[in-house]
Structure 1
Amino acid sequence: EPHVPVWDKTERSDGTLSRSDFEWRAEDNEYRCPADKALRSDRRKFTVPRSGVTKADTIIYRASASDCVSCPLKERCCPNTPNRKIARQVNESARDVARQIAKTEAYARSRRHRKKVEMLFAHLKRILKLDRLRLRGLKGARDEFLLAATAQNLRRMAVWLMPKGTEPAMATAF
């Protein structure tokens, strides 16, 4: 399962309808607007068939201009254009799966664990000055990182083993 956040920039803050207000119907390969009109990518038939995929790996779904002209929701849907269009990523179905996973408790737990790990890497870079590796080669990098991680774990272990309420004498030595 992909436990990564999906960057979704399709929500609008200007009062117009967002993409989430439109219903995706995979079996028909179309979006449905709140007025139950279809937005399709294949409205025009070309003599040379085209894939419909843009350079940005999206497929553009458009409503019929005649549907939008008489629609009562036009001012909230597409006030500055003759018809509504929605760009859908070619991998949007995988993004939908990731959005559904993001609503689970396992995802929230994964985010908390990831934050702990990222903090350890930040500590390695900032406190232990591991912003760049000084040894050459894969073995050198592995050895240097292993030494830094060992030093980090020893520091953490010293804090765990320290009796509560006592101040460590060597805390500033590291």
Structure 2
Amino acid sequence: MTTAPDGLLPEWTPQSGVLLTWPHEGTDWRDQLVDAEACFALIAGELAQRTTVLVVCRDAGHAEHVRRAIATAGGDPRRVRGYRAPSNDTWARDHGPLTVLRDGRPVLLDFRFNGWGGKYAADLDDGITRAIAAQGAFGGTPLESVELVLEGGSVESDGRGTVLTTRRCLLSPGRNPGLAA
């Protein structure tokens, strides 16, 4: 058996769970909330048949509503873990942590998230990873804050040391004005 080298893990690495931030009337989904929640429930229901689903909810009432929706969609409620944190939107892929290996062990990196260069409000989303980590969402996996603005969906790795992103994402003045190409 070979182990992955230290660095950013590729997205096809086996995972212990999937993070979702559930839509609510305070998100961009407010005008299509019924349809958005139905879609999220189907996604979470499928996931919860196979893996742990970590769901970010506004409050206890929202968490119970979400748990019922996932169960109705066929998800195993024992695999759903709800965490409370306020959110602006639902893009967990962009505001959630990135996993790297360091000395062969996983470490979660919490980059800053500013709503795609300030296009949208993201102050609440930027705090989600820290908030749910404080609630035990990631168990004993270390979490490190990184002051660089980076959306998780804007970076790819092959797990062997190659990392791809774009200047437009990483070096835009709205994200990291002090960095230069």
- TM (norm. structure 2) is 0.25
* Structure with greater helix percent: 1
Q: Which has the higher contact order (CA 8 A, sep 6+)?
A: 2
* Structure with greater strand percent: 2
- Bigger CA radius of gyration: 1
- TM (norm. structure 1) is 0.26
